[in-house]
Copies of this chain bind each other. A is one copy, B any other.
Amino acid sequence: MAQILLTLSYDGTQFAGFQVQKNARTVQATVQDAIEQIFGERYPVVGCSRTDAGVHARDYKLTFFTDSGILCDRIPAALNAKLPYDVSVLGASVVPDDFHVRHDVYEKEYEYAICNTPYRDPFSRHTAYHFRQSLDEQLLARAAAHFVGKHDFRAFMASGSDVADTVRTVRSTSVERRGDWVYIRIAADGFLYNMVRIFVGTLLSCAQGKYSADSIPAIISSLDRKNAGATAPACGLYLNRVTYLPQKGDTHDR
């Protein structure tokens, strides 16, 4: 028996998120179907994160156990032959049996892509958020920097979530402009429900002058969702990178 770690990339547009749901197309069920076709058995797969409907991933990690002797080198091409074109397996490796792909996450980084043009771009309508008004990336970066640190981020959690511990540690934020594109990145030990999208919505409100860039600490400490900005659309959001501590993430070929 070996635990296999897969790295996936997927376009979330036509998925109702990662996690299996009745009567909905999900990444988890889609990958389980492909695994079943290749391995001849339906293995339960565990994912590193729930992602919402429409959210994308460039570096999604999931695991499953198998006693099949298939070589890891062969797994990506074999699964990709069975998977639809909006999800792709980029790598496979063996990880220790006690590795847990969600509990052992050290850090996740999300990226939010904004197409900042006066008129919308037909090519990124599902893969970026179109924001018409010219964005000042310096101002966005200044506002974003206030999120760094260990805080109770309850003001940045969608209502309806029943998580008990709302303290998270944001390790870094960055804002980068490349031509007409603006990329907002945030890395943390974990995220609350819709936290990144509310973070981005709040930054965009700062850009529009609704809040000052330096009002973020007061919004955080208010612990009140009503004080933060709107939830930015799912289409701009990417799970960009998931990291594990070296002793946990150690993999070996077979």
Query: In the complex the two chains form, is A77's CB within 8 Å of B119's CB?
Result: yes
For A85, what are the chain B residues with a Cβ–Cβ distance below 8 Å? Answer: 120, 122, 125
Stretch at the interface among A87-95, A143-151, A155-163, A203-211: A87-95
Chain B residue nearest in CB terms to A90: B119
Query: In the complex the two chains form, is B11's CB within 8 Å of A88's CB?
Result: no
Contact residues of A between 1 and 53, Cβ < 8 Å to B: 9-11
Query: In the complex the two chains form, is B86's CB within 8 Å of A9's CB?
Result: no
Interface range on chain A: under 10, 10 to 19, 20 to 34, or 35 or more? 20 to 34
Which residues of A pack against B, CB within 8 Å? 9-11, 56, 76-77, 80, 85-90, 118-123, 125, 127
Q: Which of A80, A122, A123 has the most chain B CB atoms inside 10 A of its CB?
A: A122
Given contacts A56-B123, A85-B120, 12 further A-B contacts (CB under 8 A): A10-B122, A11-B122, A11-B123, A76-B119, A77-B119, A86-B122, A87-B122, A88-B119, A88-B121, A88-B122, A90-B119, A123-B127
Chain B residue nearest in CB terms to A80: B119
Query: In the complex the two chains form, is A89's CB within 8 Å of B119's CB?
Result: yes
The CA-CA distance from A173 to B127 in the complex, in Å, is 30
A-B contact pairs, 10 of them (CB 8 A): A9-B121, A11-B122, A56-B123, A76-B118, A76-B119, A77-B119, A80-B120, A85-B120, A85-B122, A85-B125
Query: In the complex the two chains form, is B120's CB within 8 Å of A88's CB?
Result: yes
What is the CB-to-nearest-CB distance from A62 to chain B, in angstroms, rounded to a whole number? 15
For A90, what are the chain B residues with a Cβ–Cβ distance below 8 Å? Answer: 119
The CA-CA distance from A119 to B9 in the complex, in Å, is 10
The CA-CA distance from A76 to B87 in the complex, in Å, is 35
The CA-CA distance from A86 to B125 in the complex, in Å, is 8
What is the CB-to-nearest-CB distance from A225 to chain B, in angstroms, rounded to a whole number? 30
The CA-CA distance from A127 to B125 in the complex, in Å, is 12
What is the CB-to-nearest-CB distance from A31 to chain B, in angstroms, rounded to a whole number? 13
For A80, what are the chain B residues with a Cβ–Cβ distance below 8 Å? Answer: 119-120
9 closest Cβ contacts across the A-B interface? A11-B122, A85-B125, A86-B122, A88-B120, A88-B122, A88-B119, A10-B122, A11-B123, A90-B119
